[in-house]
Amino acid sequence: MKHEPSKHKLRRSGERGFSLVEVTLSLAIVSTVMVGVVGMLSTGVNLVGEAGDISTQGRIAQKLVGELQLSDWDKLEEYTTPDQRYRYYDYQGQEVEDINDSMQVYTALISIDTTGVALPGSPRPSSCLRRVYIFISPNNGEKGKQDVDRVAEAAEGLQASGQNIENPGELEEVTIHSRILVKMNSSEVL
């Protein structure tokens, strides 16, 4: 039986290769970079979640404002009654009926200033304008209801003192959307 020479050549003393120190050092560099990349991935996932949350809250606010704009002007006050004031939504912005619904994620509160609104530069409030505030909490159930109530109370206090309502700082996670509704068939001059 003939012995065949190996197809693999052994390294000779004059040829260069990677030493154990070089391999260890390169693995340390690669692992350090990978830890940073994994950390950025989790931050990116969180940012995508926050963007989806903001988008859903915007859809909820638009849906409520559209509903108010299409309603009868004389019946706007009905949206401030306890059964109409609070609305509950799932993670996609679809309304759910019950505060205890397992799909409920967002809590919205509708507040309408029915005393009339004065446009900038106008000397008096107009009875054909209404300012609508929609407070949206990303918390569900009673916690969400308490959040929007607390921010609405703080906002009403600012409004009573003549200050602009943006976010009263009571709870940063509750977003406030504000719109002005106009009575279209009014003969009153703005």
pLDDT in tens, 22-79: 999 999 999 999 998 988 998 899 899 889 888 998 999 999 989 888 888 888 888 8
Q: Is residue 15 part of a domain?
A: no
Query: Using an 8 Å Cβ cutoff, are 136 and 105 in contact?
Result: no
The amino acid sitting at 146 is Q
Longest dimension (CA), the chain: 114
Question: 83 lies in which domain range?
Answer: 20-182
State the DSSP H helix or E strand holding residue 182, giving kind and residue range, or none if neither: strand 175-182
Q: Is residue 9 part of a domain?
A: no
Q: Is residue 4 part of a domain?
A: no
Higher pLDDT, 24 or 138: 24
Calpha distance 106→136 (Å, rounded) = 7
Whole-number pLDDT of residue 112: 83
Q: Give me the phi and psi of 169, to 5 degrees please.
A: 80, 0
Q: Is residue 177 part of a domain?
A: yes
Q: Is residue 12 part of a domain?
A: no
Whole-number pLDDT of residue 189: 45
Q: Is residue 190 part of a domain?
A: no
Q: Is residue 5 part of a domain?
A: no
Whole-number pLDDT of residue 129: 83
Give the number of domains in the chain. 1
Whole-number pLDDT of residue 47: 92
Which tokens go with 57?
């809250």
Calpha distance 62→68 (Å, rounded) = 10
Q: Is residue 150 part of a domain?
A: yes
